[in-house]
Structure 1
């Protein structure tokens, strides 16, 4: 499983250069995952090798994690868990994602009923290098093809803030 953790670098100025001008490694802030946190700015984000799995992007708000679900996952949920994310579903609505890697916390959301529309995991799809498209099917029924990208963003239904990997 390949992964990268990204931090929002807004605004970051180092010796008069913007974050996008940096050519060396960028240390990311801690994220809700145990993924490595140091990556080269020019290579962000990491994705599955072409045709070797489904790339999964999870935008936690303060950080974004990109991982690879190898092979041909049978559903969006299988891709999410196959990429190494810990998923808790809504008790009264099986298949609906309530928590990914502890976000939101148990004190913020009990995961018994659907979370409010301002604080939920929205589900997105994309082709590599394309644009995020809001999913019209649930993650339990969608069958992503190897080489595609699945996206998850916590909040009020906006797409992941990270561009779709190429």
Structure 2
């Protein structure tokens, strides 16, 4: 530092102090982990073409079919699912890149959610334009941006093959 001007030496000293100073515990410690409840969505279909209507069909899990609206533009299909008010659990290994549970189903007793769910029991992901028909998504929900006014569908597929996965049992038509 001897060949540097006093101003440069001071700047270099400040950078060194900041770079090697301990980070305060309040900044370094992550927030306590806990369940996250998302409830910005509204029950029913989106009333207009602003927002994305999300349909969750529990199929063989014994539940009903739920329809909710994720208001406004949605960054991804996964965001639409969560912003419609559904609780999503991913896998321990891959996070929400693989949706393992929607609103707690299937239960932990039947699926541990450690790795990718098996091809014989998983949430299949669908999309459709308003008034169109369901299309099995060739993209994961984190990589697809649903257009406003469209439908996102999730249907639990149990013991079905690639050609007979059941689409959601609700027509993608906004009333």
- TM-score, reference length from structure 1: 0.71
SS in 2 for 1:93: coil
Q: Of residues 143, 146, 161 in structure 2, which corresponds to 1:144?
A: 146
Structure with the higher fraction of residues in strand conformation: 1
Gaps of 5+ in 2: 1-40
The match for 1:6 is none
Quote the offset at 1:117 in angstroms: 1.5
Greater gyration radius = 2
* Pair 1:96-2:98 in alignment: yes
Q: How many residues are matched?
A: 124
Query: Counterpart in 1 of 2:53?
Result: 55
The 5 Å alignment of 1:6-155 reads 46-61=44-59, 62-94=63-95, 95-155=97-157
Aligned-pair distance for 1:2? 2.9
SS in 2 for 1:49: coil
Q: Which has the higher helix share?
A: 2
| Structure 1 segments unaligned to the other structure (5+ residues) | 4-45
Given the alignment of the two structures, is residue 158 of structure 1 paired with residue 156 of structure 2, yes or no?
no
Q: How far, CA to CA, are the matches of 1:116 and 1:105 in structure 2?
A: 14
Partner of 2:116, secondary structure, is coil
1:16-48 CA-partner distances (Å, limit 9, x unpaired): xxxxxxxxxxxxxxxxxxxxxxxxxxxxxx411
Runs of 4+ in 1 over 3 A off after TM superposition: none
Distance (Å, rounded) in 1 between the aligned partners of 2:166 and 2:92: 24
Deviates more, 1:78-87 or 1:152-161: 152-161
Displacement of 1:71 after TM fit? 0.8
What corresponds to 1:13 in structure 2?
none
Q: Distance in 2 between matches of 1:165 and 1:85?
A: 20
Distance 1:90 1:163 in 2: 30
How high is the TM-score relative to the length of structure 2? 0.67
**Alpha-carbon separation, structure 2, partners of 1:90 and 1:138:** 14
